[in-house]
Amino acid sequence: MGKLEGKVAVITAATSGMALATATLFVEEGAYVFITGRRQDVLDKAVKAIGRNVTGVNADSSNLADLDRLYETVKKEKGKIDVLFASAGFGEYLTLDKVTEEHFDKTFNTNVRGTLFTVQKALPLFNNGGSILLNGSIVSIKGFPAFGIYAASKAAVRSFARTAVVDLKDRGIRVNVLSPGPIDTPALDGLGGDKSQLEALVPRGTMGRSEEIATAALFLASSDSSFVNGVELFVDGGVAQI
């Protein structure tokens, strides 16, 4: 029996990289998974790649109407949620002198506003004793150049987790933050930059893989972490720890 046998999970922005790997592993471990993506063609490919026990919903996590439609789909098809991984995020490099209102709003709308309402709107369907994972980042505790707005948005996500733990304690819903370090994903490719510089930061000399994030997510989602609540789990190869 899998570690998520009979569970229903929702994973936002799960069409590639870490979130797709997590959705795939959750299904392998017995869960039925709802995934979201903003592009229908890419979403369809992700659903096909997962292969079974999955529903794809075209949705933008910063759009509240899209979130309502997502949870209406979950309610209609399964009627409950046991695990939520609020994974949707956006980031781009801009030095302080070049930050624009548009850049700030796009980053915070997706990473902060979107994360908050992804969680809030899931609660009516959430089973007591469930698990919520928020997508953080090591940048929230580091000072990487040209990444200040993204870092601040991830620090806000960390703060949400602390208060959500208290707000949801009577329902036994755990809330934890999963904070990756340098992971070799298509999203990282989109940021540009020199991968060799990132690899040099990791003690083992190579960046992380999406599957290494997925196994950490499985731990936080399952009963293996039943006494883990309110933590920020850094899956970063030691980059932010030394």
Residues 202, 222: Cα–Cα separation, whole Å? 28
Return contacts of 98-102, CB within 8 angstroms, 24+ apart: 99/148, 99/149
193 band by pLDDT with thresholds 50, 70 and 90: low
**Taking 90 as the threshold, does the pLDDT of residue 185 lie above it?**
no
The string of pLDDT tens digits covering residues 81-128 is 999 999 999 999 999 999 999 999 999 999 999 999 999 999 999 999
Please name the residue that has the structure tokens 């309402």.
117
Catalytic residue among 32, 71, 93, 150: 150
**Taking 90 as the threshold, does the pLDDT of residue 52 lie above it?**
yes
Is the CB of residue 19 less than 8 Å from the CB of residue 86?
A: no
> Is 32 designated active site?
no
The mean of the pLDDT values for the chain is 96
**Counting Cβ atoms within 10 Å, is residue 44 exposed (0-12), middle (13-18) or buried (19+)?**
middle
State the CB neighbour count (10 A cutoff) for residue 204: 9
The structure's pTM equals 0.95
The string of pLDDT tens digits covering residues 123-161 is 999 999 999 999 999 999 998 899 999 999 999 999 999
Give me the pLDDT at residue 186, please. Answer: 80
Q: What is the CATH code of the structural domain delimited by 8-235?
A: 3.40.50.720
Give me the pLDDT at residue 192, please. Answer: 61
Return contacts of 59-66, CB within 8 angstroms, 24+ apart: 59/12, 60/114, 61/12, 61/13, 61/36, 61/86, 61/88, 61/110, 61/114, 61/115, 61/117, 61/118, 62/88, 62/109, 62/110, 62/113, 62/114, 64/117, 64/121, 66/36
Give me the pLDDT at residue 190, please. Answer: 62
